[in-house]
A and B are shown apart, each in its own frame.
Chain A
Amino acid sequence: MISRGIASKPFSVRKLPGFTFIAILCFALLYAPIVTLVGYSFNAGNSLAVWEGFSLQWYYAAWQNDKVQGAAILSVIIALQASLYATILATMAALGTTRTRNFRGQTAIYTMINQPLMVPEIVTAVALLICFAVIKQATDYHGLVYLVIAHTAFCIPFAYLPIRARLEGMDKSLEIAAADLYATPWRCFRRVTLPLLWPGILAGAMLAFVISLDDVVITEFVKSAGQDTLPTYMLGQLRRVITPEINAISTALLAISVLMVSLVFLLNRKKS
């Protein structure tokens, strides 16, 4: 018994049989569909499964498509506004809830801020549909404000989390030192707190941007006629014959997300 144990591979405490295999398989499964999707966006033919040579024609087609152009512009307009507002509001809220003595109502504030993470998106979406339908009917206003406010709301927790994390890791003695050196509370905030918090704010803004850009469900239920964003446009294309044009649009969106998340990752790594 004992000699057989020694004769085989050296024993490792950390290894469990088959685990590495499943893990590699898991990574492959996570990436294979995405890689396929990206790959066929460069297909010369109009098939999603038969490779007919390399071409950028579907990117060109998407670029020339007025509807895609309009949706892309709208997506970016909404995402920029929502991420900007959400980041400002989240920064303020993080300052009000972090590194402070426990105060009355703190738990209620946390619950409110994290609500978009807890309530299923479809529930919020139909609730918004109901409310905004009433307002739309009463005011006859069908502008972008509905989408911007809805996106801002669900972006707040995503912006809040990295800002709060950064703030919690910040040494309060730096602000005390600034106060000791004649900085008034406002100047202390501008010269010490804000510059130190900046990487967290940037990370929060980028996450909020990605989340807003990618949203389907709430946008689908809140938008008025002609307010398609890229994701809702893509969802609408489902009923038609799907061509690699969809893959080209997806690849572009993916590229933006990957870029942003990589930046956030680097920002956080630099801190530690």
Chain B
Amino acid sequence: MSNSVSIKVHQVSKKFGHDRDEVIALDEVSVEIRENEFFTLLGPSGCGKTTLLRLIAGFEHPSEGDIFLNDESIAHLPPYLRPVNTVFQNYALFPHMTVSENIGFGLSMQDKPPTEIDATVSEMLRLVQMEALRDRRTDQISGGQQQRVALARALAPHPRVLLLDEPLSALDYKLRKGMQIELKRLQMETGITFIFVTHDQEEALTMSDRIAVMNKGRILQVGSPNDIYDHPSERFVADFIGDTNFLSAELVESTSESSLLKLASGKTASAGPSGSTLRSMVNIAIRPEQAILTSDEASAEFSGTVTNVLYSGTDSVFHIELKSGEEFIAKVQNSGDTRRDWKTGQALGINIQPGAIQILRD
């Protein structure tokens, strides 16, 4: 993976409607997407992720700001002049053309010679394993097959960037899992930059090189799946991806590498850098699986009483009421050596794995 920038979005805003009905879909968004990267825009519906994708594709134009492709401004080019292709959510396959005509459409619009079109179409059909169905009409093939044709059609002109607008959302669970692997393989094989839009956090975590989490028209955090999961920068990110305990603590000491917290229990604990926060009371996030339960109540970082126990095969989930009154959820793996037979009403202590306390920006 090279580090040169493919798509650069610079302070882009997009507003729909005007005056009182104005809706701000994107609010001064800036992001850089690298060459050959599998980049995901993740967020709830209405967060602006699809709008950002449509701006890159050229179906909409930014109200403010600019978009660059390899340092060239493309924000005001029509879609047919951008070397960028899209896989649509509903596939948008041409119903009056066969599978191979669909795949060859982009090349024929670029006035490529017929022999080259034929060769590329065959190559694409092989790539998505659809050789047998090349002369079928697109309404005669299944949803999964339509998905493959849509992919092949968008890849055939060898775009510099491929945009994917929730392409897997119409497929059932099993097909979706298969296509996730398939998409990752295609991205590796073609070396094309993929920008993938989804609201499914699991999908984003498995497939992406980097993820941008979006909400209300803004990008909240950009980072690797690992980064995003382990070090969420703010409450929304921590909440949207995985389960999290939110607690408050007092910031005692803060350097650029680490910080020291005074917990509600009076104990101290170390955490990652506190970022720009200057307040003394901060919110912290702790993943349920980062808790280590112990009977040694007195020396533990937190202590509380078990209110509920949920058994789910591989792990058990404990609901604990802390001394401070806050609720804490701990998830413990059910391997043989861990003691896990705490009952409702029992008192216990909770330790947090080193570095697992994340200070939130808000």
Touch A–B, Cβ below 8 Å:
yes
Q: Evaluate whether A187 and B92 lie within 8 angstroms (CB atoms) in the complex, with A176-B59, A179-B79, A180-B85 already known.
A: no
Q: What's the interface size class on B, roughly?
A: 20 to 34
Chain A residues within an 8 Å CB radius of B20: none
Q: Check if A184 sits within 8 Å of B86, measured CB to CB.
A: no
| Contact A196 B109, CB 8 Å, known A179-B78, A180-B57 | no
A163, chain B: closest CB distance, angstroms: 17
**Contact flags A204-219 to B (C-beta < 8 A → 1, else 0):** 0000000000000000
A195 beta carbon closer than 8 Å to chain B: yes
Q: Is there an interface contact between B92 and A177, defined as CB atoms closer than 8 Å? A: yes
A181 nearest CB neighbor, chain B only = B106
Residues of the A chain whose Cβ atoms lie less than 8 Å from the Cβ of B78: 179
Chain A min CB distance to B130 (Å)? 18
Minimum Cβ distance to chain B for residue A66 (Å):
47
- CB distance B92 to A176 under 8 Å? yes
Smallest CB–CB gap between A191 and chain B, Å?
8
Residues of chain B from 56 to 105 with CB closer than 8 A to chain A in the complex: 57-59, 78-81, 84-86, 88, 90, 92-96, 105
The closest CB in chain A to the CB of B111 belongs to: A182
Question: Which B147-169 residues have a C-beta within 8 angstroms of A?
Answer: 153-154, 157
In the complex where A177-B86, A177-B88 touch, is A182 in contact with B96 (Cβ < 8 A)?
no
Q: Is the CB of B109 within 8 A of A182?
A: yes
How far, in whole Å, are A63 and B358 apart by their CA atoms in the complex?
Answer: 95
Which of A181, A188, A191, A196 interacts with B157 by CB under 8 Å?
A: A181
Inter-subunit contact B95/A173 (CB<8 Å): no
A109 located at the interface, meaning its Cβ lies under 8 Å from any Cβ of chain B in the complex: no
User: With the chains together, A177 CA to B86 CA distance in Å?
Assistant: 8
- Min distance, Cβ B5 to any Cβ of chain A, angstroms: 22
Contact (Cβ within 8 A) B106 A182: yes
Q: Tell me the bound Cα distance from A187 to B109 in angstroms.
A: 8
Q: Is the CB of B106 within 8 A of A195?
A: no
Q: Which residues of A contact B312 (CB under 8 A)?
A: none
Given contacts A176-B59, A176-B79, A196-B96, contact A183 B90 (CB under 8 A): no
A182 to B157, CA, bound (A): 9
Highest count of chain B CB atoms <10 Å: which of A182, A188, A195: A182
Q: How far is the CB of B87 from chain A (nearest CB, A)?
A: 10
- Nearest CB of chain A from residue B280's CB, rounded to whole Å: 52
Cβ of B255 < 8 Å from any Cβ of A?
Answer: no
For residue A169, give the distance in angstroms from its CB to the closest CB of chain B.
12
What CA separation (Å) do A174 and B85 show in the bound complex?
A: 13
Q: Is B80's CB under 8 angstroms from A180's CB? A: yes
Tell yes or no: B2 within 8 A of A by CB. Answer: no
- Given A176-B59, A196-B95, A181-B90 contact (CB < 8 Å): no
A177 to B109, CA, bound (A): 12
* Residues of chain A within 8 A of B88, CB atoms compared: 173, 176-177
Q: Which of chain B's residues have a CB closer than 8 A to the CB of A187?
A: 109
Contact indicator B90/A173 (Cβ below 8 Å): yes
In the bound complex, do residue A195 and residue B96 qualify as a contact, i.e. CB atoms below 8 Å apart?
yes
B92 cross-chain contacts in A, Cβ below 8 A: 171, 173-174, 176-177
From B59, B95, B153, A181 is in contact (CB under 8 Å) with B153
Q: How far is the CA of A264 from the CA of B78 in the complex (A)?
A: 38
User: Given A176-B59, A195-B96, does the pair A182, B86 have CB atoms closer than 8 Å?
Assistant: no
* Least distance between B123 CB and chain A CB atoms (Å): 17
A93 at the interface (CB under 8 A from B): no
Task: Mark each residue of chain B from 93 to 134: 1 if its CB lies under 8 Å from any CB of chain A, else 0.
Answer: 111100000000110011000000000000000000000000
Task: Point out residues on B near A: beta carbons under 8 Å.
Answer: 57-59, 78-81, 84-86, 88, 90, 92-96, 105-106, 109-110, 153-154, 157
Please give 5 more A-B residue pairs, beta carbons under 8 A apart, in addition to A181-B109, A184-B80, A195-B96. A171-B92, A178-B94, A179-B80, A180-B80, A181-B157
Subset of 8 A-B contacts with CB under 8 Å: A176-B79, A178-B94, A179-B80, A180-B85, A181-B85, A182-B81, A182-B109, A191-B109
Closest 5 CB pairs of A and B: A181-B106, A177-B92, A182-B109, A173-B92, A179-B79
